[in-house]
Structure 1
Amino acid sequence: MKNFLKISIVVFGFLLCLSCNESTKHKTIRLAHGLDVNHSVHKAMLEMAKNLEEASGGKLTIKIYPNQQLGSERECLELLQIGSLDMTKVSVGVMENFAPKMKVLGLPFLFRNKEHSFNVLDGPIGKQLLNEGEKYWLKGLCYYDAGSRSFYTKDRPVKNPEDLKGMKIRVMESATAMDMVRSLGGSPTPISWGELYTSLQQGVVDGAENNPPSFYLSRHYEVCKYYSLDEHTVLPDVLVVGTHFWNSLTEQEQKWLQEAADKSVKYQRKLWAKSEKEALDAVKEAGVEIIHPNKEPFAKEVQSVYNSYKDNKEMYSLIQEIKQTK
């Protein structure tokens, strides 16, 4: 009996040491995304990594894989679902395939202005939507500013909706984005971001739609010489963590990661405002014609998208009720 007690004490002590070692074990978070390293979101992720390492005393670090090194946005989400990747950044337009209620954020001309969008995303509605993908093993941590999306084309400018008729326009794998382009008379063509430059060159599509920094950093302006700032959607990016990884973290580690993500949002928004102006100046210098069309005809044509939106009209109404000032 005495020997059994001695052995039990030794085993208990050994397991306790293992537990202690496990709790202090260093963890490296694998984060993949499709953006260029000069993009404000990538820079914000570097800032997040620095803050997280400092807050955790080196227990948590982040290794970032940019430029679609580990796959497209959809592929990275699928890697998160099976636990082969820990974090990624995707557009809300792609995330809506995994968290259907996020579809509301892709509705064209949803927000009155940037301040309105921030008040929605930073408030209860935004936080609720971040958790919508948890049953699919995906948890949103925060939103990054991705500005407004507008059309850019190769052969002719888009000054009104009629100009889009017959054009093949690249869109994300988003039902809302495809419905929007169809409502304007265009032919939506889903193509991964990494394949778009070649697709534009080869005439697979006639144009695409995105924000100024993405248009510039992707060098799509080398092919498309018309940029029409209709600003049809304000579609944020989402920083997503796989729940397999999230649930493996202690409560303290989760707090460190969430706080580092929140700090990176404020940092990124400052960078974004600067990068938008720099991008527009750069593409204009490169010979791109910047067009400022009347937005009302575009807003009128996309009403059919709203008429078909039946998933969560209550959420849309709540968004419209949000005031522009906090």
Structure 2
Amino acid sequence: MQNKLLAALSLLGFLIFMGCDNTQEHRVIKLGHGLDVNHSVHKAMVKMGEDLAEISGGKMELEIYPSQQLGTERECVELLQIGSLDMTKVSVGVMENFAPKMKVFGLPYLFRDKEHAFQILDGPIGKQLLDEGEDYWIKGMGYYDAGSRSFYTKEKPIEEPSDLKGMKIRVMESASAIEMVKSLGGSPTPISWGELYTSLQQGVVDGAENNPPSFYLSRHYEVCKYYSLDEHTLLPDVLIIGKHTWDHLSDQERVWLQEAVDKSVTYQRVLWEDSEKEALEAVKAAGVSVILPNKEPFSEKTKSVYKQYEQDPEIKELIDQIKSTR
């Protein structure tokens, strides 16, 4: 991991040395992320770059480094914090380590449906939480759709919570994800996304949890032949910018960049709907059994997670506000 981080820093240093012009006349924004180039988020970022160049009249440019070229999600966040990278995408599950109140989004079965989720994310609560990471030199700019997360496993399907008992399930470095899996009887095992395929192959973990496009594009379906759509969490991705970069942008540049981000968010959410359907069809064609379990027992078992988080008055207030929003 340390070698990868050093390599990323070296690459960025080389790019700067080669003379990328970051004067007010031409601002280059470097964006690194860990997703495949066929992912809807990457396609939305490409559009963001096109829109940014058009909106700014060529005064701003976006350079994108996909597929973990600059490191894992957490490594990219660390590069943002020291000013060696401008922007990245992280899951809310990872973001909660830098913006603690965002852990509320990791609570299982928090949202009634996707419409309710977007209402919260695009409303006052979501916008307030985008600024929660400023003490860590991070500023949120928008939420991409990452669908619902469900369990996929190697040896047996997950049809009810008891099926998870004793199973090692890969989770993100997220306290809420760890507590959620524990509440269902599983053994949560944090592993970086880039190492998960091998970990599944070698039996380090028995399964994982993620959305359909990630399950498909990662090729984890080659190892895991059971996908149980319990849809326990609806975690968005967050597009973030380093405060080092944001503070050096002019007011006009901030307006241009935010407009391009907003356009990309709208575009990505449309792409996501199609990518979910395509992913499910593709994994079924590859021999994966897609299970539709009764979600009620899962929801009931995970209520214990709420009791723990409601001990924090600020989180309890957020939960109440989200659940009361109609």
SS in 2 for 1:208: strand
Taking the TM superposition and a 5 Å limit, the aligned residue runs for 1:1-326 are 24-309=24-309, 310-311=311-312, 312-323=315-326
In 2, Cα distance between equivalents of 1:270 and 1:25: 33
In 1, Cα distance between equivalents of 2:304 and 2:84: 40
Deviations 1:198-235 (A, max 9, x none): 00000000000000000000000000000000000000
Deviations 1:270-324 (A, max 9, x none): 000000000000000000000000001100111110010033100110011111x
What is the CA-CA distance between 1:25 and the residue it aligns to? 2.6
Query: In the alignment, which residue of structure 2 is the partner of 1:7?
Result: none
Query: In the alignment, which residue of structure 2 is the partner of 1:9?
Result: none
Distance 1:101-1:200 versus aligned 2 partners, 3 A rule:
same
Distance 1:283-1:22 versus aligned 2 partners, 3 A rule:
closer
Which TM-score applies when normalising by structure 2?
0.92
In 2, Cα distance between equivalents of 1:283 and 1:106: 26
What is the CA-CA distance between 1:61 and the residue it aligns to? 0.6
SS in 2 for 1:88: strand
Which AA in structure 1 matches 2:77? Answer: L
CA contact (8 A) 2:81 2:244 kept: yes
Distance 1:22-1:269 versus aligned 2 partners, 3 A rule:
closer
| Residue correspondences, number | 303
Deviations 1:30-68 (A, max 9, x none): 101110000000000000000001111111111111111
The root-mean-square deviation of aligned C-alpha atoms, in Å, is 1.0
Deviations 1:115-142 (A, max 9, x none): 0000000000000000000111000000
**Structure 1 unaligned regions, length at least 5:** 1-20
In 1, Cα distance between equivalents of 2:171 and 2:264: 27
SS in 2 for 1:297: helix
CA contact (8 A) 2:22 2:28 kept: no
Which AA in structure 2 matches 1:315? Answer: L
SS in 1 for 2:248: coil
Which AA in structure 2 matches 1:113? Answer: D
In 1, Cα distance between equivalents of 2:201 and 2:131: 39
What is the CA-CA distance between 1:23 and the residue it aligns to? 5.9
Query: In the alignment, which residue of structure 2 is the partner of 1:17?
Result: none
Distance 1:246-1:278 versus aligned 2 partners, 3 A rule:
same
Worse-matched range after superposition: 306-315 or 141-150: 306-315
SS in 1 for 2:143: strand
Which TM-score applies when normalising by structure 1?
0.92
What is the CA-CA distance between 1:145 and the residue it aligns to? 0.1
What is the CA-CA distance between 1:26 and the residue it aligns to? 1.2
What is the CA-CA distance between 1:22 and the residue it aligns to? 8.0
In 1, Cα distance between equivalents of 2:130 and 2:154: 36
Distance 1:23-1:32 versus aligned 2 partners, 3 A rule:
closer
Query: In the alignment, which residue of structure 2 is the partner of 1:15?
Result: none
In 1, Cα distance between equivalents of 2:158 and 2:22: 58
In 2, Cα distance between equivalents of 1:180 and 1:229: 16
Deviations 1:81-114 (A, max 9, x none): 1101100000000000000000100000000000
For the pair shown, the structure with the greater C-alpha radius of gyration is 1
Which AA in structure 1 matches 2:53? Answer: E
Query: In the alignment, which residue of structure 1 is the partner of 2:7?
Result: none
Query: In the alignment, which residue of structure 1 is the partner of 2:12?
Result: none
